[in-house]
Amino acid sequence: MSQSDVTTLNQKFAIPGQLEFTEDVGGLIIARIANKQAQSTIALQGAHVMTFEPVGEKPVIWLSPAAKLVLGKSIRGGVPICWPWFGAHATDSTFPAHGFARTVPWQVVASEALSDGSTRVTFELPQSSIPAAQWPHACRVRNIVTIGKEMTVELVTENTGQAMFEISEALHTYFVISDVDKIRITGLEGCTYLDKVGDWQRRTQDGAITIAAEVDRLYVNTDSDCLIDDNGHKRCIRIAKRGSLSTVVWNPWVEKAAKMGDFGSDTGYRGMVCVESANAAENVVKVAAGATHSLHVTYSIENI
Ligand code: TA6
C-alpha cells in the first residue's frame, strides 16, 4: 500500500468520529485526531506530533506559527523525534543534527479506539526511509501515540540485526507557556547538567529552573518527572518518563530564536519552552542484538 495515498490510509486506519488522514498543502500527510477528550495533529513525516489540546484546556504542545510544513524539512515545535542520535553526529558533521528520523516518511501500522475513550496510532519507520550511509543497522522503530486527556508518546527501538548498536535520542517536546518569566521547572534539583550555553561545562542544578536568558542544558542520570509550573496559565504540565535518563531544557531566547527564522514573531520564544525526555551524553543506550528499548513519556495537566 502506498502510504502517501490518503484514500488508502483512511480506508485502512481511519476511525469514524476520532481519526482521519488529510494531505496538507505542502504535501505532508497529517493524522487528525478529535475524540471526546482531546484533539491532536500528527505529521506522518517524522511521526511528528504537532499539536495536542485536551478538551476544555489550553493547548499543551507549542507549534510555531511560522513552522514550515515542507517535505524533508524539520517542523518547528510539537514533538520532534531525535533519533538515532541527539545533537550533532559524533563523527560526521555532514549528517543532520538530531538524526534523520524527524525528516523522513514514516508509515501508519495501526490505529485503535481504546476503551477509555482515547485514540492510539502506531507509526513505523520503514527501512526504506533509513539512509544506510548514516545508519547501517537492521532495526524496527515505532512511535506509538495515545491521545486522551493525557498524551503518551512511546519511541520503541528494536535491534533486529546480529550486533549491538548504540543510540542517543530525544522526544524534543515544545510546550505552550503563558510567558517565560511566569514559569519554573521542577524535578531536576541537584542534578548534574552539561551547559551548552556555558561551553558544555558540567554544573549542578540549584533549586527550580527559571529562565531569563538562553537556556540549553542537558541534565544527565535523572529519571525524574519534570513539572512546568506556569503561574500565568494557573496550571502545571507534568512530564512523566520511563526509559530515559537525560532531560534537556531549552529556550533559545531572543537572538537565537530570531536566527532560526521559524519562531514566528520576535517574541515567539516567550511562549514556549522545551523539556525533552532523552538519552544522550553518558546516557546513550546500547541495544543488544534482538533487544528492544522503549522511551515512554506521559504528558498531563494539573491545575494549581
Ligand atoms: O535540544 C536543544 C537543541 O539541541 C538546541 O541546542 C537547539 O539546537 C535545538 O535543539 C533545536 O534544534 P533544531 O535542529 O530543531 O533547530
13 has a pLDDT exceeding 70: yes
pLDDT at position 1 is: 43
Q: What is the pLDDT of residues 120-142, one digit of tens each?
A: 999 999 999 999 999 999 999 99
Q: What is the pLDDT of residues 38-81, one digit of tens each?
A: 999 999 999 999 999 999 999 999 999 999 999 999 999 999 99
208 has a pLDDT exceeding 70: yes
- Please tell me the CATH code under which domain 3-303 is placed: 2.70.98.10
**98 part of the active site:** no
Rounded CA separation 164/288 (Å): 4
Strand 174-176 vs strand 119-125: parallel, antiparallel, or unpaired? unpaired
3 has a pLDDT exceeding 60: no
Burial class (CB in 10 A: 0-12, 13-18, 19+), 302: exposed
Q: What is the pLDDT of residues 273-299, one digit of tens each?
A: 999 999 999 999 999 999 999 999 999
Q: Which atom of ligand 1 is nearest to the CA of 97?
A: 14
Across 204-214, average pLDDT: 98
264 has a pLDDT exceeding 90: no
Q: What is the pLDDT of residues 152-181, one digit of tens each?
A: 999 999 999 999 999 999 999 999 999 999
The overall average pLDDT reported for the chain is 96
Give which of 86, 81, 90 is closest to 124, Cα–Cα. 81
Rounded CA separation 274/82 (Å): 13
Rounded CA separation 233/77 (Å): 19
Across 16-37, average pLDDT: 96
Q: Whose CA is nearest to atom 8 of ligand 1?
A: 87
pTM, two decimals, is: 0.97
Strand 169-171 vs strand 292-303: parallel, antiparallel, or unpaired? unpaired
In degrees, rounded to 5, the angle at the alpha carbon of residue 187 between the alpha carbons of residues 181 and 193 is 85
- SS in 3 state form for the chain? CCCCCHHHHHHHHCECCCEEEEECCCCCEEEEEECCCEEEEEECECCEEEEEEECCCCCCECECCCCCCCCCCCCCECECEECCCCCCCCCCCCCCCCCCHHHCECEEEEEEECCCCCEEEEEEECHHHCCCCCCCCCEEEEEEEEECCCEEEEEEEEECCCCCEEECEEECCEEECCCHHHEEEECCCCCEEEEHHHCCEEEECCCCECCCCCEEEEECCCCCCEEEEECCCCEEEEEEEECCCEEEEEECHHHHHHHHCCCCCCCHHHHEEEEEEEECHHHCEEECCCCEEEEEEEEEEEEC
Q: In angstroms, what is the span from residue 47 Cα to ligand 1's centroid?
A: 18
Sorting pLDDT into bands at 50, 70 and 90, what band is 26? Answer: confident
Sorting pLDDT into bands at 50, 70 and 90, what band is 150? Answer: very high
Report the pocket of ligand 1 as residue ranges, CB < 6 Å. 74, 87, 97-98, 172, 196, 216, 248, 250, 260, 274, 276
Annotated catalytic residue within 48, 89, 172, 233: 172
Residue 97: count of CB within 10 angstroms of its CB: 12
Least confident of 1-10, 184-193, 217-226, 227-236: 1-10
CB within 8 A of 134, min separation 6: which ones? Answer: 89, 92, 95, 100
Q: Where are the domains of the chain?
A: 3-303
Q: In angstroms, what is the span from residue 275 Cα to ligand 1's centroid?
A: 12
